[in-house]
Structure 1
Amino acid sequence: MVIGGTIFSHKDSHKGTWISPDGNTINQIDHIRIKKKFRSALFDTRAFRDADCDSDHMLVVGKVRVKSKSKRLASIKTIKPNIEKLEETDVRNTYAINVKNRFGLLEEEEITLDWETIKSVVTEAAMESLGPCINARKSRSAAERRKHRGIKWIGDRANIDKRKRFKSV
């Protein structure tokens, strides 16, 4: 344990925490204790004479920086669809048809769908049309995909479709 009142240098009038009944003697008998482990979190401690506590003790205040750590919840591994397949037009069309059919199967009476229903419809259609992504960490970043499309376009500059794909992103 570390006593906070003895670490920081202040005027003597800001160190004393108790005034004797005769009003002449001032002692430092009230302290803030903190574990050594959290010593770096304590910025300052001092006594305030002007605080009206209706006592012969003075108010001792410490400034502390608190860093709260959030507990990580156990992550659930989800299988992600292979989004890179959407670049192929036939796969893109199949996916669009799957989503449209799945929304068509829902009851027409439901005007407002909740988020979970929409999410499940889209993810199921994606997994069926696109298949699972084999390794999500090794999938290409957006910059790598753009570079790859640029290389394809440079190889065949006459192809207007490749040029549009490259310029669109």
Structure 2
Amino acid sequence: MDSHEGTWISPDGNSINQIDHIMIKKKFRSALFDTTAFIGADCDFDHMLVVGELSVKLKSKRLTKIKTTKPNIEKLEETDVRNTYAINLQNRFGLLEEKEITLDWETKSVVTEIAMESLGPCINARTRNNWFDKECRSAAERRKCCRMKWIADRANID
């Protein structure tokens, strides 16, 4: 058996079997070109990573994405800004009290508009939590080196 056909190595390292497979729908079977098992992939168990190569023609749908900006709600912690925002809301809804106010999209848009005027746009709307720092990267590299050494030692047993 070719080394790239085997997907599982026995614990003693003497036998390699093909027990993992790729399942694909019948209508896509002509799109699957090649499958292979990666021996050096860091999967952290005795099975190997099985990868298949697909060639699929997809139809594209053009979706128009509306870019929205959020108001900077952190500014509400400042007393002056909070008071200005409250006064602007009271003034705007004071004018609307003559009509019947219902909780609908029009009311929501008025509140959002006032928030954007009073608070301004949020500059860092999407901040990422950078938990994967240098320490995590070095630990992953040490783990990868140990795994590659373990794979090399098992290969020398044969």
TM-score by length of 2: 0.40
Question: Which protein has the larger Cα radius of gyration, Structure 1 or Structure 2?
Answer: 1
Structure with more contact order per residue of length (Cα contacts < 8 Å, sep ≥ 6): 2
